[in-house]
Amino acid sequence: MLSRSGRPLFQVLFGPVARLFVRMGISADAVTITGTILSCAIALWLIPTDHLTVAAWAIFAVVIFDNLDGQIARLTGTSSKWGAFLDSTMDRFADGAIFLAVAIWSILHADESLANWTALGAVVALLMGAIVPYAKARAEAVGYTANIGIAERADRLTVILVGVFFVGLEWGDWWLTVATWVLAVLGFFTVIQRMATMYKQAKAEDVAERISKSAQGNEFAHRTEYAHGADPVSGPGSASGPLQGGPDAGLSANGEGHAPEGERDPQNQGGIS
């Protein structure tokens, strides 16, 4: 949700930074890879060591930096399928590091009554966070779209970083417990949303295909009936068909007579002379 609604504001605020990077010769791929390495390193170092406030701000800054890759690609005309693939893959690494770090922190530092629940919530949220983009990717792979949901990556990062920050302020460890389980539930709901969207598109296409096949079948039947009715030999009531009975039975419709059976030219190989 934030990924779509916040993009215009992000482009306005950080467009100058992206243009500066372009002038410096920094590529979009370099920003993507560097941002991922920094996110993983900061998360796996600062969060398990209980430096939560610093971790929240540092990861937030790196996420902002990492999101400059799209603007740089557009400014340099280097947007590509490879860039989209790289960005999505690197995002999975960063997300995994953040939620894994939260799980480790909960085991080492959280209140005993909340530690197991927080760790389990982080793992489930991470799992749901991996399925959400997978559902979208699979829908697009078979020709549909599933760019919908209330727990996209920006939403997940916002919620978890807010939880990390509040716990770092010593407002209570329960903030992270709530944050992880909220993300787990919202992630599951987002997967269902994308599955439903994909299902509706697939069913609509199936209905359209059946209607198209039915229309083609009716058109083929109509053409077949028309062709049979216009056949000059076997068609009923054909004006050019042979006349039946009467004194002119030996004449064709144009008045020319047929040779009686047996009176064939031997040099005509059985043809009518």
Structure token digits, residue 175: 């903030």
* Type of residue numbered 144: Y
Residue 128 lies in a domain: yes
Confidence of residue 5 (pLDDT cuts 50, 70, 90): low
Cβ contact 180:102 at 8 Å: yes
What is the average per-residue pLDDT within 83-98? 94
**pLDDT classification of 44: cutoffs 50, 70, 90:** very high
Per-residue pLDDT for 110 more than 90?
yes
In this structure, what DSSP letter does residue 267 have?
A: G
Nearest residue to 73 (alpha-carbon basis) of 62, 84, 60, 89: 84
Q: Is 37 inside any structural domain?
A: yes
pLDDT in tens, 126-146: 999 999 999 999 999 999 998
**Catalytic position from the list 69, 87, 91, 95:** 91
Distance CA(191)–CA(137), nearest Å, equals: 12
So what's the pLDDT on residue 237? Answer: 46
How many Å apart are CA 46 and CA 55, to the nearest integer? 5
The phi and psi torsions of 110 (rounded to 5 degrees) equal -70, 160
Average pLDDT of the residues of the chain: 83
Domain at 161, CATH number: 1.20.120.1760
Tell me the pLDDT tens digit for each residue of 145-186: 988 888 888 889 999 999 999 999 999 999 999 999 999 999
Position 35 in a domain: yes
For residue 242, the model assigns a pLDDT of: 44
Model confidence at 226, in pLDDT bands (50, 70, 90)? low
Q: Does residue 113 have a pLDDT over 90?
A: yes
What is the rounded CA–CA span in Å between residue 252 and residue 255?
5
pLDDT band at 109, cuts 50/70/90? very high
pLDDT at 86 over 70: yes
Domain membership flag for residue 250: no
pLDDT at position 243 over 90: no
Instruction: Look at residue 82 and tell me if it is in a domain.
Output: yes
Read off the tokens for 149: 């949901």
**104 C-beta neighbours (distance < 10 Å), count:** 17
Does residue 54 have a pLDDT over 90?
Answer: yes
pLDDT at 3: 56
Give the mean pLDDT of 115-125: 97
Q: What are phi and psi of 121, to 5 degrees?
A: -60, -40
Confidence tier at 116 by pLDDT (50, 70, 90) = very high
Task: Determine whether 149 is exposed, middle or buried from the number of CB atoms within 10 Å of its CB (0-12, 13-18, 19+).
Answer: buried
The total number of structural domains that make up the chain: 1
For residue 175, give its domain range: 2-207
* 3-state SS, residue 240: coil
Residue 120 has what pLDDT? 97
The predicted structure's pLDDT at residue 213: 80
242 assigned to some structural domain: no
In this structure, which amino acid lies at residue 237?
Answer: G
Neighbours of 245 (CB within 10 A): 6
**pLDDT score, position 9:** 67
Q: What does residue 257 show for φ and ψ, rounded to 5 degrees?
A: -85, 155
Q: Respond yes or no: is residue 91 known to be catalytic.
A: yes
- Residue 216 is predicted with a pLDDT of 76
